[in-house]
Amino acid sequence: MIIYGMTIVCICLILPEASYSRGSTAAIHDQEMKILVTGAAGFIGFHLTKHLTESRPYSTIVAIDNFKPGYEPRLKEDRAIVLLKMGVNLLYGDVCDEVFIRYLFETHEFSHVIHLAGETGVRRSVQQPQDFANSNIGCFVQLLELIVPYKVHIVYASSSTVYGPDSSLPFDPTSAHGSASNMYALSKMVDEMFADAYCRESNTTILGLRFFTVYGPWGRPDMAVYKYAHNLATGKKIHMAIHDSDKPAVRDFTYIDDIISGITMAMAYHPDECGEIFNLGYSEPHSLEELLQILKVEMGIKEGYVEYVPLSPYELPITHADIRRSRERLNFAPTTNLTKGIHKFVKWFWEYTSQEQSKQEKAILDEMLDYSRNLKTMIVDNNIKELNRIYNDRLTNLRKYFREFADREGIPVPPRRENIQFIFKQGLVPVGLKVMYSSRDAHDREALTAQCAATEVCVAVTTDGHFFSDLKPESEWEDSGDPSIGVYLADIDVCAFDLHHCPKHSTCVSEGSATYHCVCHEGFGTAQCLRLYSVEAVDSLQKEEEEEDYLNGADRLSARSGKEFVFFQGVDSVTKDGDILYISEEVDIDKMKEICKSLRSCIAFNTNGYLKRTIQPPSLRPHWSGDLLGGLYILDFDYCSLSDSVCPPESSCQKEGAGEYQCVCRDPLLVLDHETNKCVRATTEEHVTDAEEHVADTGLFKDESSDEVEVFLNDGPFDDTIHVIMSVDGEYWIGLVTAINSILQHASQPHTVSFHVVLSGAPPSFLQSYLQCFGFTKYVDIEIAQMDPTWLKSEIKIHSDTNIVGNLASMGNYARFYFDRLFPNLKKAIYLDSDIIVQHDIKDLWREVFTSEYIVTAVERKSPTYGELFSLNVHDLFVRRYGYLFGSTDSTFNAGIFGVNLELWVKEGVTKEVEYWMEENSRDVLWQYGTQPLMLLSLHSKWGKLTPKWNRDGLGWNSDISEKQLQDGYILHWSGKGKPWLDYSLYKSKWLKWVPIPCRHHGQCVADDTQGLYKCVS
């Protein structure tokens, strides 16, 4: 059957993974993806769709291919029949049909688009340039125009033909295009330009792949591999292209499985800049003569009639892919050489050419055609109800096809889901892994539960249309308090259906409707079901490492020879699959060292008994949450050379010292994002400055006509750099370093926090050396400014009981009124007293401060009120100064934690007002609470409110604060005399856990008064 001018579309409900065992980590589901593949009946598109069906548990795939007769149409039809027999849902449509494509996007809400459709072939492009321009350029631009607003991840096919005869070998994807020698090459060049332009304009992820001479089973019959095999098998003459004195053309032949691997890696890759292009090739070119000889051997044919013909002027004599960039960024590593690949191709070739289409197979194709026509009609007529009905009917048939396919191929599948009932949990919002979302069916119980029942991986669906493939225990769910919402739980045994996330070496145990727990196998324990220590366990690990040659184990053993462990008190390292063994008995440090050194993969362990194969960079290591004396032991060797470095591929690992390393982005205009562990475009002035300095040093990217470097900044709702001001006097600096440590440990992006410290009563070099004892000056941005006491008009007289409230008028307190002088370049900042610890991401506080319209933003305090705090004398002075009277019940705020807009502070002359009240208070006793009333009087009606959790104060005197209040507070504040570093302080344990360890536990930080410095002394 020959079908012209049509496009094939497949909407695939993907069922189980091809390779998993019950109780495995992966089970049968992965992250939610809804993928549109264009070119499903083409060579690469067919293999990609087949691969996703066999190995990926995505909820939906849609694939499109134009059945234009560029070569033998039966091959495309047979590919489609293979997909149909696997349970893939195929529909006819048209990639340039705007109405149809829009319907697919509105229906399926795609997360990814893999665009493989288009005209192919250098020679055909010379003969039919208009077709290539329309299909490859016109339809691609229309597709981009339509789908860019949906913010999907787009991967599109380019070609090695974009490299011209003037391109140097091997072809580097970062170099400029060559000169286009044919319409096919030109169309792909233009595609890359449009992709770059749409990416920059819309901030959509668009990634290009240049394929190099792809071959393998189901390959194109117009390509050399298939043509040579066909002509050898039929005894026909083989035309071999030659160039330069009869040299056969050379091609970088790439096996289809390696191409599919590269595409799936590109689907998971998120470029940090527009215009990223990758070569996908084997990177070992072979001549056409070599290809023919390998084919003869594999096909068992000794003779072949060869006619040498001149290479077309539109084709390149040699292609050779430089895949270093693909290896570094995509982890692309082709594994199939030409001999191995031709062996697989020949096996398929003999099987395929000996078969014919059966009537049954044609019937499957005809059924798909009828269904497609009906669906297309209903899309045009907008008949949604009937559309849903036939769609669900077809899903039933597809499950039958898939199970037949799985039985043939030995793919394990879960039991059939039949007559599934649902239990409704009112008011609850579940927590778990979402697999898809249907806004169209929201609050339609019948539609939601029917779709969940029809979806093999669905265990629950919420009333607003979120489908889950895995749920955490109900105790972790949120009670919304809203009876109109809830979740429908499938009344199934998730263990029997493999819909669980039990780790390797464990068994899933059902607890009822969609709930379960995991039981570790004998010899394994912890939440991860790690191997538990025993002599036999160590022996088993050693054998596994020898068999697998784990991570270049011999090199690792050599690198570790003679090295010792360095201890980092108060920190840990947590990486995915980073733990390899757990010692459950009481930890013996010397024994741990001995065991770790005996294992090739072990490079560290913590005092809780976990042996580790990977460690995090220092800036990402979490604070130790257990015993205050616990921490992390790391072997002191160059682990940057390890193949399992946690640095991203686009960066290099640089050793900084014992147990320390950092990741440095190779691109000088990128910086490392510690939250995502990826190199990203610089978005702050500091990062841009670093990038510019790097560029100036290296001479990279410099415009010959200009001395300037152009750097693009991302627009955002607020400044990415978080500015924190703190103030200290000449003592109790332990409070400062503890506060800083707590901020960094809870920050999602610690590298974006910039500290500005006001120092009184000591030289800055003294504090600088103290901070060095704790390692802060190396990784943390800290600016120190010294308070000038001559700025004060007069000092506040202290009349309050300092035994209760402490000294509220130290020089550090006065610094709050002179931030504009101390830090003239700051526009907005957060101020924190040093008697605090932060228990939440400081970025959220910065968001409130940065978006506030007030001069100061602070947490409201109901007592004391203005009326309770100030006497009638102050009332009279206030009225004379400002012309109105503050309310006696007006709330106040605690000035130990606040946000400040310094531009407004200067504009409104707040410092002048503060100094007025200083002078008035010096003449008479107007209040008894130090410097804080100065801010209250100067800023009445000019301050805004922060979220209350940002200041859980009173820890310095109030013994009635509950544990829940302490846990819920974003910042704990020891306001009052009982500072947390004092022996008699309340809630001291809350503060102690964030006290950093000086000198890496190899000494104490001691003041050397003769030099005016602090030093680490053993």
Q: Which residues are catalytic?
A: 184
Nearest alpha carbon to residue 294 among 330, 346, 248: 346
Q: How far apart, in whole angstroms, are the C-alpha atoms of residue 613 and residue 596?
A: 9
Report the DSSP pairing between strands 428-429 and 478-479. Answer: antiparallel
In the chain, what is the greatest distance between 2 CA atoms, to the nearest angstrom?
114
Collapsed DSSP state (helix, strand, coil) of residue 243: strand
Looking at the DSSP assignment, which residues form a beta bridge with residue 467? Answer: 436, 461
* The pair of three-digit structure tokens given for residue 969, joined into one six-digit string: 């507070």
With contact defined as beta carbons under 8 Å apart, do 465 and 437 qualify?
yes
Q: How far apart, in whole angstroms, are the C-alpha atoms of residue 153 and residue 265?
A: 12
Residue that has been written with the tokens 């410290």 in this structure: 757
Concatenated DSSP letters of 642-704: STT-SS-TTEEEEEEETTEEEEEESSTTEEEETTTTEEEE--SHHHHHHHHHHHHHHTTT--T
- Distance, first Cα to last Cα, the chain: 86
In single-letter form, the type of residue at position 497 comes to F
> What is the sign of the dihedral through the CA atoms of 221, 222, 223 and 226?
positive
With contact defined as beta carbons under 8 Å apart, do 959 and 978 qualify?
no
Q: How far apart, in whole angstroms, are the C-alpha atoms of residue 562 and residue 44?
A: 51
Long-range contacts made by residues 643-646, C-beta under 8 angstroms, separation at least 24?
Answer: 643/551, 643/552, 644/551, 644/613, 644/614, 646/575, 646/614, 646/615, 646/616, 646/617, 646/677
Alpha-carbon 775 to chain mean position: 28
Other beta carbons less than 10 A from residue 218's beta carbon: 21
Q: How far apart, in whole angstroms, are the C-alpha atoms of residue 93 and residue 82?
A: 19
Looking at the DSSP assignment, which residues form a beta bridge with residue 259? Answer: none
Phi and psi based region of residue 726 (left: phi greater than 0; alpha: psi -120 to 50; beta: remaining): beta
Phi, psi of 488 (to 5 degrees): -100, 120
With contact defined as beta carbons under 8 Å apart, do 617 and 573 qualify?
no
With residue 21 as reference, give the H or E element that holds it. none
Q: How far apart, in whole angstroms, are the C-alpha atoms of residue 118 and residue 553?
A: 46
* The pair of three-digit structure tokens given for residue 51, joined into one six-digit string: 């691969």
Contacts of 204 (CB under 8 A, 6+ apart): 148, 151, 152, 154, 198
Q: How far apart, in whole angstroms, are the C-alpha atoms of residue 856 and residue 899?
A: 5
Q: How far apart, in whole angstroms, are the C-alpha atoms of residue 187 and residue 416?
A: 48
> What is the sign of the dihedral through the CA atoms of 773, 774, 780 and 785?
negative
Question: What burial class does residue 757 get, using C-beta atoms within 10 Å of its C-beta: 0-12 exposed, 13-18 middle, 19+ buried?
Answer: buried
Nearest alpha carbon to residue 971 among 952, 995, 992, 994: 952
Phi and psi based region of residue 19 (left: phi greater than 0; alpha: psi -120 to 50; beta: remaining): beta
With contact defined as beta carbons under 8 Å apart, do 111 and 34 qualify?
yes
* The pair of three-digit structure tokens given for residue 377, joined into one six-digit string: 């009609």
Looking at the DSSP assignment, which residues form a beta bridge with residue 838? Answer: 971
